[in-house]
Amino acid sequence: MYDVWKNVLAEIEQKVSKANFSTWFSDLSLLSIENGVVTIGVKNSFLIKQLNTRYLEIIKSALINNGVEVKDIAFELSAKKKSAIRSREITHEDVSAKEHIKEVRTKIKEQSFSNYENGLNLKYTLNNFVIGSNNDLAVSAAKSIIDAPGTRYNPFFLYGGPGLGKTHLVQAIGNELLRRNPKLKILYTPISHFYSDFVESIQAGKGKEFYRKFQKLDVLIIDDIQLIMGKEKSQEEFFNIFNDLYQLNKQIIITSDRLPSQIKTLDERLASRLTWAGAFDLQLPKFEDKCAILKSKAEFMGAEIEDEAIEYIAENVNTNIRDLEGEFSKILLMSEVRGITPLELINNGAVSVQKSSKLRSVSAKNIVEKVAKYYHLSVKEMCGKSRVANIKTARQVAMFLLSSELSMSTPKIAEEVGVKDHTTVMHGIKKINSDLKMNFLLRDQLEEIKEAIYG
């Protein structure tokens, strides 16, 4: 049983950020497995509520993948942890551990096998997806798909770095489509599962059955398509499935961490088809977006946290939403354990959120040089007075990156790029921000420049 749990935790560690794993999973223990009922030991009742709300499906999936039959999951406080909590005089008068366990069991029973088989996680909805300037275009397309699947945005190709909400958004589309029409046949599957299921079907001589399963679908959602690179047979199978569904006006939704053109060894025919309806990306959230995400998270969890504490976290986490939420959860847990507010915890120096190491290692000079090199210009040319279109664009891109990556003031940016008036910088940044809404080539260029800067 110990080895099984060790493997379960190892799998979970691959699916969540380090901060979230350390906060929510590092102290869990497997107490028993009896007749499909898995009992997991936790250190306090606050953890039970969070695991129930946020990570139930991840735990269940990891257990099943390691050969455990799961009919029910229960979380229990171990005697050791109970005494530790009492010694810190932390009580939860509103909800007892027993009530939490009942809540967990109810959640699982509410999720029918039909929902489980389609791969969708019911917790992902548009209602709890925070919309900001970093994702509003993609969300707008998602809403159009929900209103008329298989028409305007088909296929829907969504790309962006890890932890920005790709899986949440595409599963929210699936859940909302099912809510509106429960008869729809929808399948969400990571491409790694598609590949392994395909290989197993070939080995078992059931290749036709595998193909027919996809032919019956109304909506196919494939996650992390970039992992199909190098798998020629799987690409061919997916290509045929894609064509059949597309011809029948069935909705196809694909996520990736990069554009198809950047996926090595991806079949050219498939790569071109994936972006027939355009490509939509999720960008890193700005400060205001991060504050909105954390406030929404606090409201969803029923947690009390001061605006100053939220702003501190938002200002210091510059990687992705997953890490942002991980730091948020860590501070809430430490606040709970120590019996003080999150802001008091921060002001007392009991917790410190480290800024991205990338940001600390990059200078303004480095950004200016990389931008100039990308556009085949010298720094002197780019930072001169020329109004030639390509030079002007390069200069504005440099302004934008100095602002977004280093949070430099406009007067300081003006000095770095050789312009006299900081209002020119403000205009340049605004221009790039506006162009990014619909100019996918510019988005790709920015990503490539960032890779050169941080690589």
CATH number for 436: 1.10.1750.10
Domain boundary among 250, 281, 312: 281
Q: How many helices (H) and strands (E) does the chain have?
A: 24, 8
Residue whose C-alpha is closest to residue 132's, from 286, 269, 354: 286
For tokens 């919309």, the residue is: 131
Residue type, 174: G
Residue type, 55: Y
With respect to residue 115, please indicate whether it lies within any of the assigned structural domains.
no
List, in order, residues 6 or more apart from 360 with CB less than 8 Å away.
none
With respect to residue 131, please indicate whether it lies within any of the assigned structural domains.
no
Domain co-membership, 176 together with 194: yes
Measured distance CA(376)–CA(389) in Å, rounded:
14
Q: At what angle do helices 56-65 and 97-110 cross, to 10 degrees?
A: 70
Give the range of the structural domain holding residue 424, as residue numbers without chain letter: 359-454
Q: What per-residue confidence (pLDDT) applies to 55?
A: 84
Domain co-membership, 395 together with 449: yes
With respect to residue 118, please indicate whether it lies within any of the assigned structural domains.
no
Residue whose C-alpha is closest to residue 360's, from 312, 412, 319, 393: 319
Domain co-membership, 265 together with 152: yes
With respect to residue 378, please indicate whether it lies within any of the assigned structural domains.
yes
Domain co-membership, 242 together with 264: yes
CATH number at residue 12: 3.30.300.180
Stated as kind and residue range, the H or E segment containing 42 is strand 37-42
Domain boundary among 296, 329, 355: 355
Residue whose C-alpha is closest to residue 21's, from 7, 11, 31: 11
252, β-bridge pairs: 220
| Rg, Å, the chain Cα set | 24
Q: What per-residue confidence (pLDDT) applies to 169?
A: 96
- Cβ neighbour number for residue 85 with a 10 Å cutoff: 19
Q: At what angle do helices 389-406 and 440-454 cross, to 10 degrees?
A: 60
Stated as kind and residue range, the H or E segment containing 187 is strand 186-190
Domain co-membership, 260 together with 146: yes
List, in order, residues 6 or more apart from 173 with CB less than 8 Å away.
142, 145, 146, 156, 221, 253
With respect to residue 121, please indicate whether it lies within any of the assigned structural domains.
no
Stated as kind and residue range, the H or E segment containing 32 is strand 29-34
CB 134 within 8 A of CB 286: yes
Domain co-membership, 252 together with 331: no
Q: What per-residue confidence (pLDDT) applies to 442?
A: 85
Q: What is the dihedral of CA 60, 54, 284, 255, to 10 degrees?
A: 30
Measured distance CA(42)–CA(75) in Å, rounded:
7
With respect to residue 124, please indicate whether it lies within any of the assigned structural domains.
no
Domain co-membership, 154 together with 102: no
CATH number at residue 170: 3.40.50.300
Domain co-membership, 345 together with 367: no
Domain co-membership, 236 together with 333: no
Domain boundary among 331, 355, 379: 355
Measured distance CA(25)–CA(12) in Å, rounded:
8
Domain co-membership, 267 together with 393: no
Domain co-membership, 253 together with 296: no
Domain co-membership, 206 together with 301: no
Measured distance CA(382)–CA(163) in Å, rounded:
34
CATH number at residue 339: 1.10.8.60
Q: At what angle do helices 389-406 and 410-417 cross, to 10 degrees?
A: 140
| pLDDT mean values, one per 10 residues, the chain (455 residues) | 80 76 81 89 76 84 86 77 36 43 43 58 90 89 95 93 91 95 94 91 90 93 91 92 95 93 87 91 87 88 89 85 89 88 86 56 89 94 91 94 86 90 91 80 84 80
With respect to residue 224, please indicate whether it lies within any of the assigned structural domains.
yes
With respect to residue 129, please indicate whether it lies within any of the assigned structural domains.
no
- For the chain, what is the domain count? 4
Token digits for 363? 């200078």
Q: What per-residue confidence (pLDDT) applies to 179?
A: 94
